[in-house]
Amino acid sequence: MVNNILKAPEGSPSDVEDIKEKSDYLRGTLKEVMLDRISAGIPDDDNRLMKHHGSYLQDDRDLRNERQKQKLEPAYQFMLRVRMPGGVSTPAQWLVMDDLSQKYGNNTLKLTTRETFQMHGILKWNMKKTIQEINAALLDTIAACGDVNRNVMCASNPYQSEIHTEVYEWSKKLSDDLLPRTRAYHEIWLDEERVAGTPETEEVEPMYGPLYLPRKFKIGIAVPPSNDVDVFSQDLGFIAIVEEGKLIGFNVAIGGGMGMTHGDQATYPQLAKVIGFCKPEQMYDVAEKVITIQRDYGNRSVRKNARFKYTVDRLGVETVKAELENRLGWSLAEAKAFHFDHNGDRYGWVKGVEGKWHFTLFVEGGRITDYDDYKLMTGLREIAKVHTGEFRLTSNQNLIISNVTSQNKDAISSLIEKYGLTDGRQHSALRRSSMACVALPTCGLAMAEAERYLPVLIDKIEDIVNENGLRDEEITIRMTGCPNGCARHALGEIGFIGKAPGKYNMYLGAAFDGSRLSKMYRENIGEEEILSELNVLLSRYAKERNEGEHFGDFVIRAGVIKATTDGTNFHHE
């Protein structure tokens, strides 16, 4: 039901709209091109569709120049992203992902900032086998990327484990119910026969329609006081409201997102605004109607301005709320009070309900692999073999070995010790509060290093932190290789966005609890300048901060940077 007063932006549809329209509900020619042995790649149109099946064609950028010189096609390989709502994996699923990464991937697993697994380096000929084995393990990759609702995140905080269980169930339900209905995935990857299409039997997408959404769409559920999922960065955020130990419902927040383009002020990170409260059983209805508003009024002409945050800002949050209530046929209740303390993880052992234990492991950059001196992957494999609970992948790229029984705790603890798996305690709190996106060598959009460089930069920042007595001070630091913001850079108290090899824009002033965006402090600077800036700022912080004051708040109070009060003033004073 389209409101005739509201309008979508005018302009001819972008090329991706055209590709989706002609794709026969996301089929395109994927089935055929995946069989072609002449190239290890696939045509661009099919690659656009491939995203809806949870994968991207990439090439190893470390090898790009050399292969070009040798007149070889790029070292094509695929990235595969699993859809795993709430980041919960069973030990058996962990073992399958581990095994697949050895057989078909690059011997690593990436724990992403949206609580799931990515595998890198899969060759075209191994894609189908990999996807089939993932499905056999009761996981899938449907809609993990593309212009649809993505992996639904939920708080992984082990402190309130009874609430976690409930909230996780809702995130699973949202994720499942908001899936595309096309059988394209099953036909292409799982050899399902297509049912002959007649107007009655042919599938339709009751919610998405044949063009799907104008852009990706993301949902996250937070459980205060932890804002680990960065709920305000989501297109649609739900904030759990717990009264007397019971989940009574969720505040609803709309219109967040992190991506932007360097030099284009019409693009900006934005925080979602809280518009009301709904009961748990109303959540799906709210999500579905919000999605259809974006479907109908999102920008299908300019992809850079197609995210829901721009729809909300263009139409106005009150107008979108009124349209939502119109579509729902009922009104949201008034938002309830809530309070967030932080957006990071809490490490080490914690006892939850029913005598179960949870161990949050620090995983730098979210990369699971065997390093020369740190057999992280092997250690986790051995744990998965004896673990009877679950693994929870966190939105800060860490891992919780979760729901460990008291009987099993000693066995798991000794494996943790044997393999030196760390809760990060030997590092500075700054490192434990760090996050970096994948960037080079696999990400085709990276302008600079992130995952491979941030740990090296932090080695040097740790010297400054130690000199100033700040080793135990949690300061969130995030780096992305480009302004797309995959590590939610604009919500790091110290943020870096890649501009060119070795060069970054530096951002300051985000809130420790994820409720305020940062602002650019220095443009296009290299390591030397980064360290000298941080030397001054961190030593001032050590001397001049108020009791309990976080770094992001300090730089604003000290006049180092103006607060960003809304995404629309992210680029201005």
Which one of 23, 47, 77, 113 is in contact with ligand SRM (CB under 6 A)? 113
Give the amino acid at 270.
Q
From the list ligand SF4, ligand SRM, none, pick the one residue 307 interacts with, judged by a Cβ distance below 5 to 8 Å according to partner type: ligand SRM
Nearer to ligand SF4, 61 or 183 (CB): 61
Query: Within 13 Å of residue 399, how many CA atoms lie on the same side as its CB?
Result: 28
The DSSP secondary-structure symbol of 438 reads -
Choose the contact partner of 150 out of ligand SF4, ligand SRM, none; CB within 5 to 8 A by kind: ligand SRM
Say if residue 486 carries a ligand binding annotation. yes
* Packing angle, helices 124-136 and 91-103, rounded to 10: 170
Q: Shortest Cβ distance from residue 84 to ligand SRM (Å)?
A: 8
488 lies in the site for ligand SRM, by CB under 6 A: yes
Residue (383 or 510) nearer to ligand SF4, CB: 510
Q: Which is nearer to ligand SF4, 255 or 441 (CB)?
A: 441
Per CB under 6 A, which of residues 455..484 are in contact with ligand SRM? 484
Residues in the interface with ligand SF4 (CB under 6 A) total 13
* Burial of 5: CB neighbours in 10 Å, binned 0-12, 13-18, 19+: exposed
Q: From CA 511, how far away is CA 25, in angstroms rounded?
A: 42
Site for ligand SF4, residues 434 to 473, rule: CB under 6 A: 437-439, 443, 445-446, 450
Q: In the numeric block, which tokens belong to residue 145?
A: 């990327």
Closest-approach residue to ligand SRM (CB): 259
Q: Which residues are catalytic?
A: 81, 150, 216, 218, 437, 443, 482, 486
Spatial distance between the Cα atoms of 248 and 279, rounded to a whole number of angstroms: 6
Q: Which residue in the set 273, 307, 356, 427 belongs to the binding site for ligand SRM (CB under 6 A)? A: 307
Least Å distance, CB 78 to ligand SF4, is 15
Least distance to ligand SF4, CB of residue 109, Å: 16
Q: Binds 481, which of ligand SF4, ligand SRM, none (CB < 5 to 8 A, cut-off by type)?
A: ligand SF4
At its nearest, how many Å lie between ligand SF4 and the CB of residue 453? 11
Q: Which of residues 107-126 bind ligand SF4 (CB under 6 A)?
A: none
How is residue 146 annotated by DSSP? S
> Do residues 310 and 567 make contact, with C-beta atoms less than 8 angstroms apart?
no
Backbone angles phi, psi at 360, to 5 degrees: -95, 120
Shortest CB 316 distance to ligand SRM, Å: 20
| Token pair for 193 | 């026969």
436 touches 454 (CB < 8 A) = yes
Closer residue to ligand SRM, CB minimum distance, 332 or 482: 482
Q: Which stretch binds ligand SRM (CB under 6 A): 240-248, 338-346, 442-450, 562-570?
A: 442-450
Piece in contact with ligand SF4 (CB under 6 A), picked from 186-194, 287-295, 310-318, 476-484: 476-484
Question: Does the footprint of ligand SF4 cover residue 42 (CB under 6 A)?
Answer: no
Is the CB of residue 383 less than 8 Å from the CB of residue 416? yes
Q: How far is CA 182 from CA 94, 139, 191, 211, 420, in A?
A: 28, 18, 14, 12, 46
Secondary structure, 3-state, 69-81: HCCCCCCEEEEEE
Question: Considering the complex, what minimum distance in angstroms separates the CB of residue 75 from ligand SF4?
Answer: 17
- DSSP structure string for 491-505: GSSEEEEEEETTEEE
CB 124 within 8 A of CB 76: yes
Say if residue 13 is preceded by a cis peptide, omega within 30 of 0: no
Closest distance between ligand SRM and the C-beta of residue 308, in Å?
9
Tokens of 309: 């945050």
Compute the distance between CA of residue 403 and CA of residue 165 in angstroms, rounded to an integer.
11
Question: In which region does residue 67 sit, left (phi positive, over 0), alpha (psi from -120 to 50) or beta (all else)?
Answer: alpha
Q: Is 443 annotated as a binding residue?
A: yes
Tell me which of 139, 174, 404, 437 binds ligand SRM, using CB under 6 A: 437
155, 188, 320, 482: which one binds ligand SF4 (CB under 6 A): 482
Give the shortest CB-397-to-ligand SRM separation in angstroms. Answer: 6
How many residues contact ligand SRM, by CB under 6 A? 31
Token pair, residue 196, equals 């002959």
Instruction: Please give the angle made by the CA atoms of 5, 7 and 10, to the nearest 5 degrees.
Output: 145
The residue from 480, 505, 518, 564 that contacts ligand SF4 (CB under 6 A) is 480
Q: Which is nearer to ligand SRM, 113 or 360 (CB)?
A: 113
The vertex-497 CA angle with 494 and 503, nearest 5°, equals 110
Here's the x/- map for ligand SRM, 492-511, by CB under 6 A: it reads as --------------------
List 23, 93, 112, 311, residue binding ligand SRM (CB under 6 A): 112
Q: According to CB under 6 A, which residues from 48 to 107 bind ligand SRM?
A: 56, 58, 79, 81
For the chain, give the number of residues: 573
Examine residue 567 and tell whether it contacts ligand SRM (CB under 6 A).
Answer: no
Which of the choices ligand SRM, ligand SF4, none does residue 239 contact, using the CB cut-off of 5 to 8 A by kind? none
**Other C-beta atoms lying within 10 Å of the C-beta of residue 455:** 16
Contact (CB, 8 A) for 214 and 298: yes
DSSP assignment of 494-544 = EEEEEEETTEEEEEE---TTS-S--EEEEEEE-HHHHHHHHHHHHHHHHHH
Tell which one of 257, 481, 492, 514 touches ligand SF4 (CB under 6 A): 481
Q: Which tokens hold the place of 51?
A: 């995203």
- 26 or 479: CB nearest ligand SF4: 479
Q: Which of 193, 184, 182, 195 is nearest to 50 (CA)?
A: 184
Gap between the Cα atoms of 111 and 389, Å rounded: 19
- The 239-268 contact track toward ligand SRM, x by CB under 6 A, reads ------------------xxx---------
Q: How far is the CB of 41 from ligand SRM (least distance, A)?
A: 14
Binding residues for ligand SRM, rule: CB under 6 A, are 56, 58, 79, 81, 112-114, 116, 118, 150-151, 216, 218, 233, 257-259, 307, 366, 397, 437-438, 442-445, 484-488
Annotated binding site: 437, 443, 482, 486
Binding residues for ligand SF4, rule: CB under 6 A, are 437-439, 443, 445-446, 450, 480-482, 484-486
